């Protein structure tokens, strides 16, 4: 049984408007819920909007051009740096993405979106210690972000720190009761307890299925306590 992560494709652009009926998950953003206008001066808002619209459509070429325009108009702008970093990561340029995201946290240490994206990128590259460090910063500066807690929980689980993983995943579902991957991951963690917490595992697994997660035959066969031998 493996812990499950939200696909990076679901990460909406920092500063983008969120349509409740179409966006698959909360956008990564600095704590707690900033007004995008706070981060994009009026002179660059049109370019930022164009980039956000292109990003959510998967048009990374247009998004890259737009976010570069933001940075031309407002050098070191957080929205430009973070979202261009996302574009570069999604486009297979992790070194450039890392440079941009680190620049963002140098500009404003509390930029939770940059820390979260760095943590996701490091995890994707199996750089577990760096992922742990970045995601710890993400939950510090964006404590209301369920995605950050879910990712940190998965990383802690990978490190074998199951109590910490459970705490982070529980926090994720407290923040967002419909965080289906966090429910699934809690089920996995509860099955790894000694002895396994079967009822809690069943509750969270089937809740994840109700929320649209794909069924997992491997976990389902472990959801029932073994019958005692005569």
Neighbours of 123 (CB within 10 A): 22
- pLDDT of 26 reads 27
Query: Which domains are seen in the chain, by residue range?
Result: 8-220 (1.25.40.10)
What contacts 66, CB < 8 A, 6 or more positions away?
Answer: 47, 48, 50, 51, 54
Q: Are 55 and 13 in contact (CB under 8 A)?
A: yes
Query: For the stretch 186-198, what's the b/e string if a residue is b when 16 or more beta carbons lie within 10 angstroms of its beta carbon?
Result: bbbbbbbeeebbb
Tell me how many helices (H) and strands (E) the chain has.
12, 0
pLDDT for the residue 44: 85
pLDDT tens series, the chain, 230 aa: 666 654 443 344 454 432 222 222 223 333 323 444 557 778 888 998 899 889 988 899 999 999 999 999 999 999 899 999 999 999 999 999 999 999 999 999 999 999 999 999 999 999 999 999 999 999 999 999 999 999 999 999 999 999 999 999 999 999 999 999 999 999 999 999 999 999 999 999 999 999 999 999 989 999 886 665 55
């Amino acid at each position: 049984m493996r812990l499950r992560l939200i696909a990076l494709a679901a990460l909406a652009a920092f500063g983008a408007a969120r349509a409740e009926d179409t966006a698959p998950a909360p956008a990564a953003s600095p704590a707690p819920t900033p007004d995008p206008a706070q981060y994009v001066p009026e002179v660059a808002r049109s370019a930022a909007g164009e980039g956000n619209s292109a990003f959510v459509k998967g048009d990374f070429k247009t998004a890259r051009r737009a976010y570069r325009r933001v940075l031309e108009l407002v050098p070191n702008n957080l929205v430009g740096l973070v979202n261009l970093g996302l574009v570069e990561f999604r486009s297979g340029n992790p070194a450039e993405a890392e440079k941009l995201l680190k620049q963002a946290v140098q500009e404003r240490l509390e930029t939770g979106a940059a820390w979260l994206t760095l943590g996701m990128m490091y995890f994707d590259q199996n750089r577990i210690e760096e992922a742990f460090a970045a995601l710890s910063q993400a939950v510090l500066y964006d404590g209301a972000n369920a995605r950050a807690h879910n990712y940190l929980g998965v990383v802690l689980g990978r490190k074998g720190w199951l109590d910490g993983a459970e705490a982070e995943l529980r926090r994720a579902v407290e923040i967002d009761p419909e965080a289906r991957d966090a429910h699934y991951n809690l089920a996995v963690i509860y099955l790894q307890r000694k002895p396994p917490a079967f009822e809690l595992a069943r509750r969270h697994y089937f809740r994840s299925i109700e929320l649209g997660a794909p069924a997992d035959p491997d976990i389902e066969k472990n959801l029932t306590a073994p019958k005692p031998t005569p």
